[in-house]
Amino acid sequence: MDSKHDTIRVLGVDPGLNVTGYGVIDMRGRDLQIVEAGVVRGGARGDISKRVSRLYDGLQDVIKQHAPQLMALEELYSHYQRPRTAILMGHARGIICLAAAKAEIPVYHYASTQVKRMLTGNGRASKKQMQLSVAHEFSLPAPPDPPDVADALAIAMCHCFFSRQTSVT
């Protein structure tokens, strides 16, 4: 099959222990199409082991249902004012990487500023700007909501953009 016509299925993931956004995109040449997007909820409160278990189970369901060939995942970032957030995000990223590893899916990591700059031209774009940009790129009637969904789709798009760049050179 000619590589320009192969379809590659990308799972973009915006990690969070409470809410993890995901977006499944098919990339065929220069065309991108949303297959499905949504959230997996770990829960805002309760035992951490139950929360990560719900996140893992939800991601396994997404992977089984959509069979992505690769995963694009937002890198861990930390604000000095909120170290607890970084720790919780680390738990979520670990579970997400485990789900990908168990399914033998390679994971590509992207900084949030890199994703925002690729989509909006501004590495510090707001969540609302990201939602509007994703809606525009996919000609959606309304911005994806919650913002975690738009972020996951943007992460998947970022991988598609960068993989096209590296395959041309």
**Which one is catalytic: 6, 14, 47, 151?**
14
Which residues are registered as beta bridge partners of 7? 28
Distance CA 131, CA 119 (A): 10
Bridge-partner residues for 109, per DSSP? 73
| Spatial distance between the Cα atoms of 129 and 89, rounded to a whole number of angstroms | 23
Chain centroid to Cα 137, Å, comes to 16
8 Å CB contact between 153 and 144: yes
Query: Residue 163 corresponds to which amino acid?
Result: S
Catalytic pick from 2, 145, 148, 151?
148
Who's near 49: CB < 8 A, 6+ residues apart?
none
Q: Is 148 a catalytic residue?
A: yes
**Residue 36 and residue 50 in contact, taking contact as beta carbons nearer than 8 Å:** no
- The CA radius of gyration of the chain, in Å to the nearest whole number, is 15
Question: Which among 31, 57, 74, 75 is annotated as catalytic?
Answer: 74
* Structure-block tokens of residue 150: 């738009």
14 given a catalytic annotation: yes
Q: Examine the residue annotation and report whether 26 is marked as an active-site residue of this protein.
A: no
Active-site residue numbers?
A: 14, 74, 148
